[in-house]
Structure 1
Amino acid sequence: MQKERETENFVSLGTDLKEARKVLGLSRRALAEKVNIDPRYLANIENSGSLPSLPVFYQLVKICKLPVERYFFPADSELDGKERERTVLKLELCPKEYLPIIEAAIDGAISLKETGEA
């Protein structure tokens, strides 16, 4: 009997890692060194859709600040839509000192919606 791996949840992993790595200003070599893997292995994950081992996956998503639930619970992520998903990812990558500004913008948007001005 042939074993099947569920991979559809991880289709975007490589692209997500590459984008997050660039936003964080990390070269492929620098990220690979942080995770203690060969840069070619990381290139295969980013470009060829290779699936990393669980310990490597954990380190990559932790360093790149990617939401783990996106890969393990995609149905939950899909309920919120792609815009919300992109916003959450960007929020994870945002420097801490800018969070009060973002929070104020969100509060303003919610206020507009509540008053019917949106």
Structure 2
Amino acid sequence: MLKQVSIAVLAGAMLASAPVAAQVDLGVGADIDLGVDVRVGEPYTYRGYDSGRWYAYEEPRRAGRYYDNYGGYDCYKAFQYTWHDGHRARYDAYWCYDEGGRKYEVEKTRAVVRVK
């Protein structure tokens, strides 16, 4: 019984680590081949949105309006599905334009939510 529990715990620990393709020697004359292929970091689609791409909640308006709170022009909120600490996640952040019209993510506005 203890041997089976130890094997299950060890197998679970191996599955939790990324990427895994290993053979485990249990030291009792038995080997377990864990041919697990964890694909952390690969692109995925969630609710119709492709990961790795920012999506604005509303189309950004280029009106030349300056936002003191964010230190930029024509700021808007956007989200992205991605990977964070080995888990699927959603980022929400504010984006603005600088004086030259280049987009940038406003520092310290990113929120991270784990996606199941």
**Normalised by the shorter chain, which TM-score bucket?**
under 0.3
Determine which structure has more spread, i.e. the larger CA radius of gyration: 2
Between the two structures, name the one with larger relative contact order (CA 8 Å, sep ≥ 6): 1
TM-score norm. by structure 1 comes to 0.20
* Greater strand proportion: 2
